[in-house]
C-alpha cells in the first residue's frame, strides 16, 4: 500500500439518505501537518432537509440553493481521492456518502484506502472514560489533543479529523499517517469501478453528445462546465419556480430520466420527465435544447 496523498474528508447530509450531501470538507496532510483545507456547500439532488440534520449542521435549503451540485463541487477533489489514504471520523458514514452519491449521479467510484479515526483513537487510547462512546467523539478527541474547531462545519470537522490522526502518529512515533495505518492494520482498501451510465446502449447513443456547456438557472451563473462524462443533465423550472435537475441515467432496462423533484420519489415519470421526454423545452433553464431534441431518440432505445 502506497498512497499518492493523505487527506481527511467530512460530509454533512440534508436528510437520512446517504446520497444527500449538502457540504463537504477536506484537509490534506503532508510532512506531519495539515497543509491545505477546502470546504464546499453542495446542492443536493433532492432539496429535502430533515429538521434533525439541520439541527446538527445548521445548513438550510436556502443556503445551498445556489451551491454547485455534487458532481460540480467534487470535480476538483475526486482525482485527489483516487489512490489516496482517506481519513474520516466514523469513516463508514463518509465513505458511504461518497459511494452512494457517486452512484446516484452515475459517476465512477475511485479506488482509495480509508482509515477511520474513531477506530484509530480507540486503538491508541483504549478504554478511555469507561463505557460510553462520548470519549471518541470528534469534539471530545479534539479537546483532548488541544485542537479548537467549530463542530459540524464540514471543513472544520475534516481539519479536526486530520489533527487526531496526526496526534496519534506523533504519540506512537510513526513517521507518517500511512505507516501508522499499515502498522495498526486499520486501513481499508476500496476498489474503484467504472461509471454506470457510460456503459451499454446509452453509452453508444450518448457518445458525441456534449454535456451542457453552461447552466443558467438563478445563481449558478454561466460558469463553463466541463464535459467530464457523457451524461445528459437538464435543469428545468418547476411550477413554483424551483429549479430541478433531470438527468439521463442508465436504468435496468436502458436509459431513463431521473428528476430531483419531490413528486419523482413517488412517480418516476414526473411532469418534468414527461415534458422533456416529449421534447418540450418551455421550462428548460439549462441552455441545451439540442440535447432535449436528442433525448427522444435515446429514450426510445430503452
Ligand atoms: Zn420532476
Residue 218: what pLDDT? 36
In the predicted model, what is the mean pLDDT of residues 267-288?
87
**Which has the closest alpha carbon to 250: 72, 46, 105, 97?**
105
- Domain-ending residue, one of 132, 160, 190: 190
In a domain, 251, yes or no: yes
Q: Distance (Å, rounded) from C-alpha 237 to C-alpha 284?
A: 6
> Are 183 and 131 in the same domain?
yes
Ligand 1 centroid vs 98 CA: distance in angstroms?
Answer: 24
Ligand 1 centroid vs 257 CA: distance in angstroms?
Answer: 10
- Candidate from 68-82, 193-207, 264-278 with smallest mean pLDDT: 193-207
Ligand 1 centroid vs 74 CA: distance in angstroms?
Answer: 24
Ligand 1 centroid vs 267 CA: distance in angstroms?
Answer: 9
> Are 146 and 27 in the same domain?
yes
Q: Distance (Å, rounded) from C-alpha 250 to C-alpha 196?
A: 7
Q: Distance (Å, rounded) from C-alpha 122 to C-alpha 133?
A: 10
Ligand 1 centroid vs 203 CA: distance in angstroms?
Answer: 24
pLDDT reading at 297 higher than 80: no
> Are 153 and 214 in the same domain?
no
pLDDT reading at 61 higher than 90: yes
In the predicted model, what is the mean pLDDT of residues 222-238?
59
- Domain-ending residue, one of 156, 190, 224: 190
In a domain, 195, yes or no: no
In the predicted model, what is the mean pLDDT of residues 233-244?
86
In the predicted model, what is the mean pLDDT of residues 120-141?
78
Which residue in this structure is represented by grid cell 411532469?
271
- C-alpha cell of 106? 452515475
Ligand 1 centroid vs 273 CA: distance in angstroms?
Answer: 6
| Cβ-Cβ contacts under 8 Å for 235 (sequence gap 6 or more) | 215, 217, 220, 243, 244, 245, 246, 284, 285, 286
Q: Distance (Å, rounded) from C-alpha 167 to C-alpha 165?
A: 5
Residue 75: what pLDDT? 92
Ligand 1 centroid vs 240 CA: distance in angstroms?
Answer: 12
- C-alpha cell of 212? 451542457
Burial of 173 (0-12, 13-18, 19+ CB in 10 A): exposed
In the predicted model, what is the mean pLDDT of residues 242-271?
84
Ligand 1 centroid vs 20 CA: distance in angstroms?
Answer: 17
Structural domains in the chain (count): 2
Which residue in this structure is represented by grid cell 496532510?
29
Is pLDDT larger for residue 21 or for residue 206?
21
> Are 179 and 271 in the same domain?
no
* 128 pLDDT tier (thresholds 50, 70, 90): low
Ligand 1 centroid vs 282 CA: distance in angstroms?
Answer: 14
> Are 162 and 273 in the same domain?
no
Ligand 1 centroid vs 105 CA: distance in angstroms?
Answer: 16
> Are 65 and 125 in the same domain?
yes
What count of other Cβ atoms lies within 10 Å of the Cβ of residue 137?
16
Task: Supply the CATH number for residue 117's domain.
Answer: 3.30.420.10
> Are 37 and 155 in the same domain?
yes
pLDDT tens-digit map of 165-218? 999 999 999 999 999 998 889 999 998 886 654 444 444 444 444 334 333 333
Ligand 1 centroid vs 199 CA: distance in angstroms?
Answer: 25
Task: At 82, give phi and psi (nearest 5°).
Answer: -60, 125
**H/E element, 251:** strand 243-251
In the predicted model, what is the mean pLDDT of residues 32-58?
94
Which residue in this structure is represented by grid cell 460510553?
132
Q: Is the dihedral of CA 132, 133, 139, 143 positive or negative?
A: positive
> Are 14 and 76 in the same domain?
yes
In a domain, 176, yes or no: yes
> Are 234 and 158 in the same domain?
no
Report percent pLDDT > 90 for the chain.
Answer: 52
> Are 179 and 224 in the same domain?
no
Q: Distance (Å, rounded) from C-alpha 95 to C-alpha 81?
A: 11
pLDDT reading at 271 higher than 70: yes
In a domain, 101, yes or no: yes
Ligand 1 centroid vs 271 CA: distance in angstroms?
Answer: 6
> Are 120 and 243 in the same domain?
no
pLDDT reading at 114 higher than 70: yes
Is pLDDT larger for residue 227 or for residue 124?
124
The number of C-alpha atoms within 13 Å of 120 and in the hemisphere containing its C-beta is 33
Ligand 1 centroid vs 150 CA: distance in angstroms?
Answer: 36
Ligand 1 centroid vs 234 CA: distance in angstroms?
Answer: 11
Mean pLDDT of the chain: 83
**Which has the closest alpha carbon to 196: 108, 71, 260?**
108
> Are 262 and 159 in the same domain?
no
Ligand 1 centroid vs 220 CA: distance in angstroms?
Answer: 19
| Ion ligand 1, residue ranges at CB < 5 A | 259, 261, 264, 270, 272
pLDDT tens-digit map of 245-254? 898 887 777 7
pLDDT tens-digit map of 134-164? 788 898 899 999 998 888 889 999 999 999 9
Ligand 1 centroid vs 284 CA: distance in angstroms?
Answer: 12
- Domain-ending residue, one of 190, 211, 238: 190
pLDDT reading at 268 higher than 70: yes
In a domain, 1, yes or no: no
Residue 231: what pLDDT? 61
Q: How far is CA 268 from CA 15, 131, 208, 285, in A?
A: 20, 46, 27, 20
Q: Which domain holds residue 103?
A: 6-190
Ligand 1 centroid vs 192 CA: distance in angstroms?
Answer: 31
Amino acid at each position: 500500500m502506497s498512497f499518492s496523498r493523505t487527506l481527511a474528508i467530512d460530509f454533512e447530509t440534508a436528510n437520512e439518505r446517504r446520497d444527500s450531501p449538502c457540504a463537504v470538507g477536506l484537509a490534506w496532510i503532508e510532512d506531519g501537518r495539515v497543509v491545505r483545507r477546502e470546504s464546499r456547500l453542495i446542492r443536493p439532488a433532492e432539496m429535502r432537509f430533515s429538521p434533525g440534520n439541520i439541527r446538527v449542521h445548521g445548513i438550510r435549503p436556502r443556503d445551498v440553493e445556489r451551491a454547485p451540485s455534487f458532481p460540480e463541487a467534487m470535480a476538483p477533489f475526486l482525482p485527489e481521492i483516487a489512490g489516496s489514504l482517506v481519513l474520516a471520523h466514523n469513516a463508514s458514514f463518509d465513505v458511504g456518502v461518497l459511494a452512494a452519491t457517486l452512484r446516484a449521479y452515475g459517476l465512477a467510484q475511485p479506488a482509495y484506502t480509508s482509515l477511520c479515526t474513531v477506530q484509530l483513537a480507540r486503538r491508541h487510547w483504549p478504554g478511555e472514560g469507561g463505557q460510553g462512546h462520548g470519549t471518541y467523539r470528534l469534539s471530545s478527541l479534539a479537546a483532548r489533543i488541544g485542537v479548537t474547531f467549530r463542530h459540524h462545519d464540514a471543513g472544520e470537522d475534516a481539519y479536526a479529523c486530520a489533527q487526531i490522526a496526526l496526534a496519534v502518529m506523533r504519540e506512537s512515533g510513526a513517521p507518517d499517517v500511512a505507516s501508522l495505518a499499515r502498522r495498526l492494520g486499520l486501513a481499508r482498501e476500496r476498489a474503484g469501478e467504472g461509471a454506470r451510465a457510460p456503459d451499454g446502449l446509452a453509452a453508444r447513443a450518448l457518445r458525441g453528445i456534449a454535456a451542457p456547456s453552461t447552466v443558467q438557472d438563478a445563481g449558478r451563473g454561466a460558469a463553463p462546465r466541463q464535459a467530464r462524462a457523457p451524461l445528459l443533465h437538464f435543469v428545468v423550472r418547476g411550477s413554483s419556480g424551483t429549479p430541478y435537475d433531470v438527468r439521463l441515467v442508465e436504468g435496468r432496462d436502458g436509459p431513463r430520466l431521473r428528476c430531483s423533484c419531490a413528486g419523482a420519489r413517488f412517480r418516476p415519470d414526473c411532469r418534468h420527465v414527461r415534458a422533456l421526454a416529449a421534447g418540450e423545452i418551455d421550462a428548460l433553464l439549462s441552455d441545451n435544447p439540442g440535447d432535449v431534441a436528442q433525448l427522444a431518440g435515446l429514450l426510445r432505445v430503452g
